[in-house]
Amino acid sequence: MNISERLKDYFKSRDVSQKEIATQLGVTQGYVALMLNGKQPFGRAAAKKWQEAFGLNASWLMTGEGAMLVGQESAPERPLPLASHSDGGGIPLIPVEAMAGAFRGERTVLEYECERYIVPAFEGADFLVRVTGDSMVPTFRSGDIVACQRVPLDNLFFQWNRAYVLDTTQGAIIKRVRQAGDTGHILIVSDNAEYTPFELPREQLHGLALVRGLIRLE
């Protein structure tokens, strides 16, 4: 399957029309059709624009080599079977009811009576969270544990298309974050194509943690 065919399948699976792509890019629908049909190759400027809008890897768009999506190259979500239970130190597995405090780095929460795990690959992680639901399959499955590193909200810089744990007005969610249509929002995307992407107002974001990796306990 070539670049244009994979692109068409990618947008079709997410129910994104050529018109919506054109609007997001600020170009004509005819231009988008040419790109998706392989009649117009991706130059450096065009590839960068598609990367910023949709999280597609600019290098892949131009050459077909490497990962299709930004963030896949480092594979931070690859399962690591190297977690061991610890009665002393280690990274705390935070229960859902204590999530808000964990985002703020409250000492009382991080010293909460919770399970701790020693994961050598993620020594810099601040806490662990158990995944629930199926919105992020196949990358994350219900019951998996993700290692998280808190990100300060002041002077916030997103790594587009990376997975984050977000503390929102409606609760904590694990999603990919992409650039939205305006600076007041971020685009929230699930890996499961059955879930429609949506824009989240930045003022409804109360805490943020970058997913450093996935731990699949044995």
The mean pLDDT value for 131-138 works out to 92
- Highest CATH level, class, for 79-215: mainly beta
pLDDT score recorded for residue 24: 80
The mean pLDDT value for 11-32 works out to 85
Measured at the CA of 186, the angle between CA 165 and CA 157, to 5 degrees, comes to 70
Amino acid present at 124: G
- 128 vs 95: CA distance, rounded Å: 9
Q: Is the pLDDT of residue 139 over 80?
A: yes
Q: Which pTM does this prediction carry?
A: 0.62
CATH hierarchy code of domain 3-63: 1.10.260.40
**Mean pLDDT for the chain?**
81
Q: Is the peptide bond before 138 cis (omega within 30 degrees of 0)?
A: yes
The mean pLDDT value for 78-97 works out to 61
- 190 vs 136: CA distance, rounded Å: 5
Q: Report whether 52 contacts 179 (CB < 8 A).
A: yes
Q: What is the tens place of the pLDDT at every residue in 150-179?
A: 888 887 888 888 899 999 988 889 999 998
CA distances from 70 to 160, 183, 197 (A): 7, 20, 17
Q: What is the tens place of the pLDDT at every residue in 198-214?
A: 999 999 999 899 998 88
Domain boundaries, given as residue ranges, for the chain: 3-63, 79-215
pLDDT score recorded for residue 84: 52
